[in-house]
Amino acid sequence: MSKKNVDDYLQEGMYGTRLPNESERKMYLGTLRERIAFVLTIGEVMSNKGLAELERQLKKHPKAKLLLNGNISYQFLKEEKSLADRLSIPHTTVSNQENDTEIGLVLTYSYAVDIEQIYLKDIEDISTQKKEEEKEEEKDSDPPKGIVSKLKNLFH
C-alpha cells in the first residue's frame, strides 16, 4: 500500500473519499454494474417504452430497489413510481447535477447479482430471438406433407 502524499489529502478533503469504480457509479445513478438487474435509458423512461418490461422485472426481482434519475421531470417518472408503489418496491430519486448520464432508471440490489443482459434493447433482442427459434422448432416438428395435401392446397 502506498503512502498518501499532500495532494491525496487535499483531493480527499475537497472532494471526499474516492470510491472504487467511481465512473461506473456516476453512470448507474450511484450503484455498480454488477448489482443491476434492469436499466432504462432516459429516452425509454420518457417515452414509456419499457414500462411493460419494467413491470415484469419488478415482479421478477421483488427484493430490489428502484433508482430514478432526478434530472427527469416528475411527469415522466409518475407511472414508474406508481408501478413500484403498487408492487411494494422501494424507490429513490437520485439527483446529481454534476453527473451527466443517459441512464433514467436502475433496478438494483445492495449486493452483486451479475445479470448479463440488463438493457431493454438486449432483453427485447433475446426474446425476439427465442420466439424465432420456437417458430423454427414448430416448423421442424410438423409432419412432412404428402402429395395429397399439396394437391389440395393447389386447388384451394
Taking only the tens place, the pLDDT of each residue in 82-140 is 999 999 999 999 887 677 889 999 999 999 998 888 998 888 888 888 778 777 776 66
Contacts of 18 (CB under 8 A, 6+ apart): 11, 12
**Distances, alpha carbon 65 to alpha carbons 7, 13, 23, 43, 151, in Å:** 37, 31, 21, 21, 60
The chain-wide mean pLDDT, for the chain, equals 83
pLDDT higher than threshold 70 for residue 156: no
Choice between 81 and 132, residue whose per-residue pLDDT is larger = 81
Other beta carbons within 10 Å of 25: 15
Q: How confident is the model at residue 153 (pLDDT cuts 50, 70, 90)?
A: confident
Does 126 or 156 have the greater pLDDT score?
A: 126
What percent of the chain has a predicted confidence (pLDDT) above 70?
83
Q: Give a three-class secondary structure readout of the chain.
A: CCCCCHHHHHHHHHHCCCCCCHHHHHHCCCCCHHHEEEEEEHHHHHCCCCHHHHHHHHHHCCCCEEEEECCCCHHHHHHHHHHHHHCCCCEEEECCCCCCCCEEEEEECCCCCCCCCCEHHHHHHHHHHHHHHHHHHHHHHCCCCCHHHHHHHHHC
Contact at 8 Å (CB) between 93 and 70? yes
Query: Is the distance from CB of 69 to CB of 42 less than 8 angstroms?
Result: yes
Q: Is the pTM of this model over 0.75?
A: no
d(CA 40, CA 29): 12
Query: pLDDT value at position 78?
Result: 92
Name which of 6, 22, 39 is nearest 105 in CA terms: 39
